Amino acid sequence: MNLKGFRRPFPGTQPNYLHPPYVSSVKRAPTKPLVAIPHTLSEITGPMFGVERVDVKAFDLTKQHSGEPLGERILVSGRVLDEDGRTVPHTLVEIWQCNAAGRYQHKVDVHDAPLDPNFTGCGHTLTDSEGRYRFVTIRPGAYPWKNHYNAWRPAHIHFSVFGPAFATRLVTQMYFPGDALIPFDPIFNCTADETARQRLISEFDWKSTIPEQALGFQFDLVLAGREATPWEPPRPGGK
């Protein structure tokens, strides 16, 4: 049973597991080489989530409480695509983020910044038939962390996408254009390839900006593309 797998990343365009400037990677990155395996039926299939698993209101993070959250209202939208530019329809996109003051609604976050009773900071949606998604939220704040002296994370929104297969699963972070903290962030900088890193920065977008209401940011997510030919086992002594 020869199946078409998904393309492997181009060298340098994905992070290595060990990236010492990001201190948490040192005790958690594997130390032995990974074992490369072909994509089998187990990797080219994957979970699919239908409308019954989705709350249609969950795309709007500003309407989850009785009042409006504090901060700058934004509309984040874009498409989920593969490496051939094909859109990925009806796939689950999850996001989470801190509030405008830079504080997560999470017991582990003890940053001395106010919680916002009107902001939880999580949302999800399905892409439409053309791979588009949109979230209404507030612009997250920057916050300090303990990675090194005077370390600050640039403002970011966490994204989780499934795509069509176990092999296409992607979790990433979206950043904002012009953020002065980006060049100093070891997490942003963990990917060697400069062009690849730039794809993590959203674009300010007049077209999706809603007058009197919300600034628009565009962020496309690109998942692994499909191989053109099925995998074949090497033939012993063969050509």
Partner 1 sequence: MNFRATPSQTVGPFFSIGCDRLNVIDLAGHGVSGQRIEVTGRVIDGDGNGVPDAMLEIWQANSAGKYAHPEDRQDKATETGFQGFGRIPTDANGAFWFATIKPGTVPGPDGRQQAPHIVVSVFMRGLLRRLVTRIYFPDEAENDQDFVLNLVEPARRGTLIAREVSGEDNKLEWNVILQGENETVFFDIGL
- Residue 142: CB minimum distance to partner 1, A: 14
Residue 106 known to be catalytic: no
Task: For residue 223, state whether it binds partner 1 (rule: CB under 8 A).
Answer: yes
Size of the site for partner 1 (CB under 8 A): 88
Please tell me the distance from the alpha carbon of residue 219 to that of residue 134, in angstroms, as a whole number.
10
Q: Which residue is it, tokens 């999850």? A: 94
Task: For residue 17, state whether it binds partner 1 (rule: CB under 8 A).
Answer: yes
Kindly report the number of other CB atoms within 10 A of residue 37's CB atom.
Answer: 10
Residues numbered 67-86 forming contacts with partner 1, rule: CB under 8 A: 81-85
Q: Which is nearer to partner 1, 23 or 215 (CB)?
A: 23
Residues 132-171 as x/- pattern, contact with partner 1 by CB under 8 A: --------------------------x-x---xxxxxxxx
Which of 158, 197, 199, 226 does the annotation list as catalytic?
Answer: 158
Identify residue 213 by its one-letter amino acid code.
Q
Judged by DSSP in three states, 223 sits in strand
Tokens coding 100? 């405008």
Kindly report the number of other CB atoms within 10 A of residue 230's CB atom.
Answer: 12
Task: For residue 39, state whether it binds partner 1 (rule: CB under 8 A).
Answer: yes
Residue whose C-alpha is closest to residue 197's, from 212, 175, 179? 175
Residue 104 known to be catalytic: yes
Select the residue interacting with partner 1 from 60, 207, 233, 238 (CB under 8 A).
233
Q: Give how far Cα 234 sits from Cα of 24, 38, 237, 238, 239, Å.
A: 39, 11, 9, 8, 9
- Residue 220: CB minimum distance to partner 1, A: 8
Q: Which residues are catalytic?
A: 104, 143, 153, 156, 158
